Structure 1
């Protein structure tokens, strides 16, 4: 797999997710979410789920866990994804066709 494969996969999954995603909760997760709702008193539980995704993403980036999985599955890193080119290409080792600068929907 490659950087192009990752970009295509992210675009496809983004489209598939849509605006809302139903998530089934096991007993432990439901209990933990109930505790967080009681403590933080958000408008609705969806807000805490959004925060949880942001927190997991942030931690995955900071610990290198995201890069580990991206390197294993797509042979690239998150930084390479954001820049649109691999480290080798950044160093001038490989030439890639020019990209539309508006391809990244989300940047950390």
Structure 2
């Protein structure tokens, strides 16, 4: 861990112990995004923006549900192919996001 990361974590932990985060506005309320969604700046979130990774993850979830209900072998193969392609696109988006985050 880098020096500044460690320093920041120590300060956050100390502030938590001292109660600095107690009684914050909206404490205990649901976050405005789903678990697993990348954090999106408020201005983008309020404009209705959904990161590509999230769109693709939700599409995968829907495809898997469709697959589990499908009994026709030909249709199942087509759905499996779409799942594979969508998952590959999701992985590319994740790699792109990680690369962008590292390079600022």
TM-score, L = length of structure 1: 0.28
Larger-Rg structure: 2
TM-score, L = length of structure 2: 0.29
Higher relative contact order (CA 8 A, sep 6+): 1
